[in-house]
Amino acid sequence: MSELGDGTRVVHAVEAVPGEPFGAQPVFASVYHLGGQDTYGRTGNPTWRALESVLGSLDGGECVVFPSGMAAISAVLRTVLSTGDTLMLPSDGYFVARRFASEMDINVVQVPTAGPYPSFEDVRLVLLESPSNPGLDVCDIATLADAAHAAGALVAVDNTTATPLGQRPLELGADIVVSSDTKAVAGHSDVQFGHVTAASPDLAASFRDARALSGAIPGPFETWLTLRGLGTLDLRLERQAKNAAALYELLSGRVAGLRWPGAAEDPAHLLAAQQMRRFNGVLTFELESAEAVETFLAKSRLVSAATSFGGLHSTADRRAQWGDPVPEGLVRFSAGCEDTRDLVTDVSQALGLV
């Protein structure tokens, strides 16, 4: 049988067993009777393994789950990098990752996602983010991975915006994938979660050891919520991308800085279409000021102010308020799963486009 489609894979993420409940159930034990696979709750949990199995399958490697996206990123940086090593990371990517790196005893080189990239000589780890958050720029993962590997560097890709269904960085040559599953993977704005997937089993084992030693472990209930949310990721992405496309058409020529890699007119579209399997519902645009963003949100009935993305509800986040080096009126808009007509009508009236 050929490879199953995305929808089938996430719905049937956990094998059905006759007489057992549908899907993996949360196992809350902290202590186990010795003799089986599990011994203590900080080192292993059946619910972790169920989610790791499906996320690893989707990413194409071996997965280790964490209690948040930043827990996943920080575990990678602390495990791979030693004192004096050099990290290259995006200057326009997630700002908390830059802050964390700046407090480590390492050398940090910041490069815009779209480049140009300097030499990778003497670089230990290259952390990419494509599409970037919040600017939605795209980089050529395969080309950069080849160049980094030739210089002896490892490559990690923050795949949060793309999701495991939208992009497979390991197939493009990356060594590590990190993701904040708080966003689209869990998808219901009710859980903090993250994961790391490595192409090398040895590298995955080092992340698993780091998790056990640090105690940064996800709760079984949160793990189950993420696994439950994953089952509808395919359906949610389809509606969110449809809504983003409709909003892009509405806003084109009417707002500044409009970006959505799924649009043929977007400067990143050609490269994004080559390395991404599908697009999502995140777009950005600029309004005149912070006050203009507040007015837009006050007039909207369907769009909420929130600082996450990828959930069921459409949200807008003025990124400058959190420290991103972007214009005061830049909005990261996360198109939700509302009816397309309703969302377009609401955004149109809230921006005064009717």
Q: Which residue is catalytic, options 42, 277, 278, 299?
A: 42
Q: Which residue is catalytic, options 59, 92, 94, 140?
A: 94
CB burial string 140-178: b at 16+ within 10 A, e below: bbeebbebbbeeebbbbbbbbbbbbbbbbbbebbbbbbb
Alpha carbon distances (Å) from 318 to 26, 98, 134, 284, 307: 36, 19, 10, 10, 8
Query: For the CA atoms of 85, 89, 95, 97, what is the dihedral angle to 10 degrees?
Result: -50
Annotated active-site residue 42? The verdict is: yes
Residue 42: closest CA among 184, 242, 233, 216 = 216
Annotated active-site residue 242? The verdict is: no
The 10 Å Cβ neighbour count of residue 86 is 17
Q: Which residue is catalytic, options 137, 140, 158, 181?
A: 158
Residue 352: closest CA among 304, 292, 305 = 292
Annotated active-site residue 158? The verdict is: yes
Strands (DSSP E) along the chain, which ranges? Answer: 62-66, 86-90, 107-111, 125-129, 154-158, 176-180, 194-198, 256-259, 282-286, 304-305, 315-318, 330-334
Q: Which residue is catalytic, options 9, 183, 228, 239?
A: 183
Give catalytic residue positions: 42, 94, 158, 183
